[in-house]
Amino acid sequence: MPRLTEATGARSYVGGVRLLAAAFGSAGFLVVAPGVVAGLVPWLLTDWRTSDPPAPLAVLGAALIALGTGILLHAFARFVIEGRGTPAPMAATDRLVVGGLYRHVRNPMYLAVGATIVGQALVLGRPVLLAYAAVFWAVVATFVHSYEEPTLSARYGEEYAAYRRAVPGWWPRLRAWSPPPPRR
């Protein structure tokens, strides 16, 4: 059994504080970013008024909303637990997040938010939300290409390059990618 020393106790305390800060930061960012993009803006565009779409479309939309919400929460949790940080650029992770759904696709958060917006369009029967989803996709793709990928490349180097070569950005791979074991 490992011996508990003052140094290991201090490291455990600092690690716990870092994890708690990452959880609170991620929760705040969840409300601000996806909350505005997939909540406030669709409400401003539709006032949540429905055009009474056919039931099968509404059911499909509800499934997309549920799936998108679950994926989004999973991805945020990965940032806290695995990355020890937040998805927010100003409080980035200590480690590259490559576990969970990130083993299938590099951008599950963006895909989840897009699915949620499309789901809302189907549930409400509001084509304006499909147009908004297209704008969201264009903005996100531009952001990922011009900022996120270069930033991750600079921060994580070959680790990110290997991940990027193995895992697609937008279309999930069926079999999960397994990262190579760390070099010692």
Encode pLDDT of 48-71 as tens digits: 999 999 999 999 999 999 999 999
Say whether pLDDT at 22 is over 90.
no
Q: Record the pTM.
A: 0.86
Rounded mean pLDDT of the chain?
89
- Measured CA to CA, the distance from residue 121 to residue 103 in angstroms comes to 29
- Measured CA to CA, the distance from residue 66 to residue 69 in angstroms comes to 5
pLDDT, tens digit, 9 for 90 and up, residues 29-51: 788 889 999 999 999 999 999 99
- In this prediction, residue 182 carries a pLDDT of 67
Instruction: State the residue for tokens 């100003």.
Output: 90
Token pair recorded at residue 61: 């939309």
The SS3 call for residue 125 is coil
